Amino acid sequence: MEAIPLLAHESPSAVVAYRGGLAIDARQFIADAVRLGDRLPAGAHVLNVCSDRYRFTVGLAACLLTGRVSLLPSTHTPAVIRQLAQFAPDAFCLTDEPSCTIDLPKFHFPQFPQERGPTWQIPRIAATQLAAIVFTSGSTGMPLPYKKTWGKLARCVLDGAPRLGLLDGRRHTLIGTVPSQHMYGFESTVLLGLMSGNAFGAERPFYPADICAALAAAPHPRALISTPVHLRTLLAAGVDLPAVELIVSATAPLAADLAREVETRFGARLIEIYGSTETGQIATRRTADTATWHLWPNVRLTATDDRVFAHGGHVEQETLMCDIIDIVNDEEFLLQGRTADLVNVAGKRSSFAYLNTQLNAIPGVIDGAFFLPDADRLSGTGVVRLAAVVVAPTLNSAQLTEELRQRIDAVFLPRPLLLVDRLPRNATGKLPHHALQSLAERYLRGAP
């Protein structure tokens, strides 16, 4: 049976992570993973919420070594945690946050001594071993699980690493502004670091000044693994940008002019990655130069009727893509937008069907719908928020928001949330966007 090493670092002293200014080498990492694996409680499913990227990665490795499965839901709201506990009744939460409020049995990441293991041997994990289950919000109200084997996860980032120039023999440092638990952060910091033999920064810098400080402290060559929101904010913040060798962006399409500005200001190339929770990463492009996406070497797209499916390579099964895709040739495609139901706010994906189901499940809500208002201007981060119109005579907007907060990720909370007497449904019961938009505008002008 094929087995794939847990990490590609060739010597015990090769750096896996930088944490608080200190280098952690491969030998220490393996020792930490083995020790954690020995201490984990019973239960084969683990919700690893460690915010420290090194601890998250030790947690992932400990799970791989002991045959446990890491659960990666798209958000941690109380409702999603309850669904997770139903999905995997033996699940526990691995956390490095003393005041973690997630309602699952908790195991706190232990303090380990700074001692390396007695021997140096890189563990190998069977390619067919189930490593992770990732969830999309689905459209019915229940998150949809997608199983990821170790072999496919490893292959995904290995097939993509050459596009990023990360297998050129130099030791790169990956600085991520995305959490390890998000599919992109999971792939492009944690897995990419392990499988390409490079190092990642354990911290997750947040403010522009934090990102610059983390980059400035990282050894060259440096790669900034980020998103359109963070890149836009970095450019707008008026800070001096440290030299980097590579910038990677994903989670939402990056505008070509923003990509060019990022390249100019950083003096480095920017590679954009396209993927989805279902398929993992499948294509890259240099956005400053071209709109055309270049598929992973063995991944292919096939159009059937109006729908496009991905298959081959690391894609576990033929998967329907949620974006509108024009296939250029076997290896290239163009993105023409999202299907009408898909929602992307600040890189988090959901669907209107899911959000509307959650809204209408609230006791007291008679009818309600989310929509994306037409933005009259872009904010500094470039994020446009959803709005909602709701018929709920017994509830006020604060009560509704609190109920929604229990069910959906905070980025999707509607702003504004308009309480109305009835929704502008047409004869077939549908809600035309222009009717919602004009209703919202009338209400915001204070003339219902």
Partner 1 sequence: MSDKASLLQQPAPLADVGLRLEIATLFVQALNLEVTPQEIDPDAPLYGAGLGLDSIDILEVALLVSKQYGIQLRADSQDNQQIFRSLRHLTEYIAAQRTK
Q: Which is nearer to partner 1, 360 or 397 (CB)?
A: 397
Q: Which is nearer to partner 1, 87 or 443 (CB)?
A: 443
Which residues contact partner 1 (rule: CB under 8 A)?
Answer: 205-210, 213, 229-230, 233, 236-239, 346, 379-381, 383, 385, 397, 401-402, 405, 410-411, 413, 415-417
Q: In terms of CB distance, is 99 or 304 closer to partner 1? A: 99
Rounded Cα distance between 170 and 193, Å, is 13
Provide the minimum distance between the beta carbon of 203 and partner 1 in the complex, in angstroms, as a whole number. 8
Q: Which residues contact 445 (CB under 8 A, 6 or more apart)?
A: none
Q: Tell me how far apart the alpha carbons of residues 291 and 337 are, in angstroms, rounded to a whole number.
A: 12
> How buried is 185 (Cβ within 10 angstroms: 0-12 exposed, 13-18 middle, 19+ buried)?
buried
- If the CB atoms of residues 105 and 179 are measured against partner 1, the closer one turns out to be 179
Shortest separation between residue 191's beta carbon and partner 1, angstroms: 23
Q: Nearer Cβ to partner 1, position 13 or 101?
A: 101
Strands (E), 314-379: 319-320, 323-329, 332-338, 342-345, 348-351, 367-371
Minimum gap (Å) between residue 99 Cβ and partner 1: 12
Q: Which value, in Å, is the radius of gyration of the alpha carbons in the chain?
A: 22
CB of 331 to partner 1, least distance (A): 35
CB neighbourhood size of 134 (10 A): 23
Single-letter amino acid, residue 281? Q
Spatial contact of 368 and 359, defined as CB atoms under 8 Å apart:
yes
Supply the minimum distance, in Å, between the C-beta of residue 410 and partner 1.
Answer: 4
In this structure, is the dihedral angle defined by the CA atoms of residues 200, 203, 205 and 209, taken in order, positive or negative?
Answer: negative
Coil, helix or strand at residue 249: strand
- DSSP letter for 190, please: I
CA 62, CA 66: separation in Å to the nearest integer?
6
Supply the minimum distance, in Å, between the C-beta of residue 237 and partner 1. Answer: 5
Which is nearer to partner 1, 21 or 89 (by Cβ)? 21
- To the nearest whole angstrom, how small is the minimum distance from the Cβ of residue 416 to partner 1? 5
Least distance from partner 1 to the Cβ atom of residue 80, Å: 16
Which CB atom, from 46 or from 231, has the smaller least distance to partner 1?
231
Closer residue to partner 1 in complex, CB, 75/173: 75
The helix or strand, by DSSP H or E, that contains position 200, with its residue range, turns out to be strand 199-201
DSSP character for 188? I
